Amino acid sequence: MNQTYEIIWAVVAENDLKEIIEYIATDSPANALKVLKRIKQKASSLYTLPERGRIVPELQDQGILLYRELIIPPWRIIYRISEIKVYVLSVLDARQNVEDMLLKRLILTEP
């Protein structure tokens, strides 16, 4: 039987998601709800096989290999696997340059 993992959302990631949903809801509450469901479902799916996400390229270039991501265009769910837990650390807009933000956030927001 495959190992299952507990999914834990960091406060920063919860705030990211809240800001995304609030922004979308100003134009379309229905679309905001759809986006919320898509992102939450994708993150929840990490309870099995969390290694399927790719290593975050911007961090890999810096030699940092602990962090992975799932893409739900245009958003990126950044997470880290630790033993039997998956820590969702950020939900970012992939249309922005996120390298500096990732480095600052992930180094400062370790659970």
The pLDDT of residue 94: 83
Give this prediction's pTM. 0.87
- Domain extent listing, the chain: 6-108
Query: What is the domain class of 6-108 according to CATH?
Result: alpha beta
The pLDDT of residue 61: 84
Cα(69)–Cα(66) distance, rounded to whole angstroms? 10
The pLDDT of residue 29: 96
pLDDT band at 16 (very low <50, low <70, confident <90, very high): very high
Q: Which two tokens stand for residue 90?
A: 């950020």
- Quick check: 73 and 38 in contact, CB under 8 A? no
Q: How many C-beta atoms surround the C-beta of residue 15 within 10 A?
A: 13
The pLDDT of residue 42: 97
58-72, 74-88, 90-104: least confident range:
90-104
The pLDDT of residue 13: 95
- 3-state secondary structure at position 98: coil
